[in-house]
Amino acid sequence: MSAPRTTPVRKVLDRLSLPERTFVLDALRTETVGGVLLLIAAIAALLWANIPALHRSYETVSHFHLGPDALGLHLSVAHWAADGLLAVFFFVAGIELKRELVAGDLRDPRAAVLPVVAALCGMAVPALVYTLTNLAGGGSTQGWAVPTATDIAFALAVLAVIGTSLPSALRAFLLTLAVVDDLFAILIIAVFFTERIDFAALGGAVLGLAVFWLLLRKGVRGWYVYVPLALVIWALMYNSGVHATIAGVAMGLMLRCTTREGEEHSPGEHIEHLVRPLSAGLAVPLFALFSAGVTVSKGELADVFGRPETLGVVLGLVVGKTVGIFGGSWLTVRFTRASLGEDLAWGDVFAVASLAGIGFTVSLLIGGLAFEGDALLTDEVKAAVLTGSLIAALCATVLLKIRNARYRRLVEAEERDEDRDGIPDVYEQDDPAYHLRMAEIYDRKAAEHRRIAAEKAAGKAAR
C-alpha cells in the first residue's frame, strides 16, 4: 500500500531568486534617493508655507498660472505639478506594474496571491475606518479614498534615515504592495474622480495611445517621436476630464518588459532606468513642494484629531493600513496552507504593514481631488495626511528597530561573497560547483600559509 501523497508547504516571503533580488535592490536604491529628496521637499514646503516672511511668496508661486489658454492648459504651478509632473510618476508605475505582471511576482498566481490580497485589504480597511469614523462623527464620507495609498519612496526614506536594513524578501514585499496599491489608486482616480467626460478629447487620447502602441509594435525608436506624442496624449487626456495621470499609466503598460534573444534588458526596463531618476528626483519632490505646504499651528493640529474627516484620514493610515495589510497577509497564509520563510516572523510583517501607513504622494493627490472646491478642508486633509504618515513612520521605526540586529545579520548573509565572483554565497551553497570553488580557495590559502611559514622557518635557521 503506497503512502499518502503530501502537498509540500509553500513558502512565502522567502529568499528571492538572484535576478529578482538584483532588480529589486536596483529599483529600491533609486526610490530611496528619491524618497530622501521627497522628505526634503516636504520639509521645505512646510517651512516655506509657515514662515511669516515667506508665506505670501509660497502662495504667489503656487497659484501662478502659465500655459496656453487656447489649449485648456493655462494652469497654476501647483496644478502643473499634480497633473503634469505626476504623469511621469504614474508612467514609471505603469512600467513597474507591467514588469511585475510578465516577469515579477505577479506573473505566478500562487506567488501573487499574498501581495495582491494584502494590498487590497490594505486599501479596503483604511477606507472602512475612514467611513465609519465619519458616519459616527457626522462628517463627509467623500474622502474615503485618501488613506488608501502607500508611498514607497517615503517609506524607503524612513528606512534610510533610521538606518534599518530590511532583508530582500521584505523589501520585495513592500515594493510589490506599492505596485498593486498604485494600480488600485489609479482605478480609484479614474472611476470616482471623473465628473465630466469630453468624448471628443477622450477619443483623441485613445487614438494617440493606439498610435503609441503601433509605433512600439513596429519597433520605431527615438525619443523625438515618443515624447511629443506623449505630450499630445497627456493634453487630450487632461481636457477629456479623466485625470491626466491615467495617460502616463497607459503608456507605461504598453512597453514590452520581456527580453528577446540578444537583449540584456527589455525596452521597458531600459526606459524605466532612464525615467525613474526624473520621476523620483524631480517630478515627485516638486509635487510635494507645492502640495505639502499647509500652514500648521497648535490649533490646526488639534483640529486634525477633532474633525471627523481629518481624524478618519489619520486613523485610516495608522490603524487601517497596518490592520489591513497584516490581516490580509495572515489570512492568505492561513487559508492557502503556506508558511513564512524560515528567517522571518509575523512581527516582521506587522512592522512592514505599519511602514505602509506612510501615504504621502497619492494621498495628497486624492485629498485634493476629493475636496476640490473647499480650500480650507483640502488643507486640513493634507495636514491629516502629513500627521498620519508621521505617526505611521514613528510606529514603524520602533517596531523595526526592535528587530534591526537580526535584519542586519540577514542582510550580511545575503550579501556575503567570500569568493568574490559577484554572486552572493547564499545563492551558491546548493550548487556543487560552489563547494568545489570554495575547496580550491581553501587549498590556495592553506598553501600560501604553508609557504609563509616555511619562509619564516628558513629565515630563523639562517640567523
44 and 158 both lie in a single domain: yes
Residue 256 lies in a domain: yes
How wide is the angle at C-alpha 47 spanned by C-alphas 46 and 52, nearest 5°?
115
400 and 439 both lie in a single domain: no
pTM of the model: 0.80
442 and 386 both lie in a single domain: no
Closest CA to 368 of 387, 383, 384, 381: 381
Residue 161 lies in a domain: yes
Residue 214 lies in a domain: no
Mean pLDDT confidence for 109-117: 82
286 and 429 both lie in a single domain: no
Identify the CATH number of the domain in which residue 126 sits.
1.20.1530.10
What pLDDT digit, counting tens, does each position of 203-245 carry? 999 999 999 999 999 989 888 899 999 999 999 999 998 888 8
37 and 81 both lie in a single domain: yes
- Please give the Cα distance from 8 to 5 (Å, whole number): 9
**What pLDDT is recorded for position 294?**
82
350 and 393 both lie in a single domain: yes
Question: Under a CB-based contact definition with an 8 Å cutoff, are residues 342 and 258 in contact?
Answer: no
123 and 266 both lie in a single domain: yes
**What pLDDT is recorded for position 295?**
80
**What pLDDT is recorded for position 169?**
79
Burial of 118 (0-12, 13-18, 19+ CB in 10 A): buried
The number of folded domains in the chain is 2
**What pLDDT is recorded for position 230?**
95
What pLDDT digit, counting tens, does each position of 38-72 carry? 889 989 998 998 898 888 999 999 999 999 988 88
Is the pLDDT assigned to residue 19 strictly greater than 70?
no
411 and 436 both lie in a single domain: no
Residue 219 lies in a domain: no
Is the pLDDT assigned to residue 116 strictly greater than 50?
yes
142 and 291 both lie in a single domain: yes
**What pLDDT is recorded for position 5?**
47
Is the pLDDT assigned to residue 367 strictly greater than 80?
yes
Alpha-carbon 444 to chain mean position: 46
> Using the 8-state DSSP alphabet, how is residue 105 labeled?
G
* Mean pLDDT taken over the chain: 83
Residue 372 lies in a domain: yes
Q: Which domain holds residue 107?
A: 11-193+243-415
157 and 62 both lie in a single domain: yes
Which residues, at least 6 apart from 167, have a Cβ–Cβ distance to it below 8 Å? 343, 344, 407, 410, 411, 414
**What pLDDT is recorded for position 126?**
95
**What pLDDT is recorded for position 7?**
47
- Please give the Cα distance from 426 to 405 (Å, whole number): 19
Residue 213 lies in a domain: no
Mean pLDDT confidence for 143-153: 88
